Amino acid sequence: MVAKCANGGCNREFRELSKGRLFLLPPADTRGVGRLADYCYWLCPDCESVYTLELEGTSPVLRARRRERSVSSAA
């Protein structure tokens, strides 16, 4: 069960599904091993705006989000 933000530097507790972002990151070779809850991770709203989670091997890794370039209109 998800209890707190997946960012190790954050101690915010998971309280509402509608806030932040929930990730399901099962390894490709699970073959039915483990529970679904073992692969659920949550980033709080503050961390989700800066980071994302990606699977690297069998472990989730916190990565900085890529900033989207804004398209400026030609005047």
pLDDT reported for residue 39: 87
Please list the pLDDT of the chain residue by residue as tens digits (75 residues). 789 999 999 999 999 889 999 999 887 766 666 777 788 999 999 999 999 999 988 889 999 998 766 555 554
User: In the beta sheet, which residues pair with residue 53?
Assistant: 62
Which pTM value belongs to this model?
0.76
Tokens of 28: 């490709």
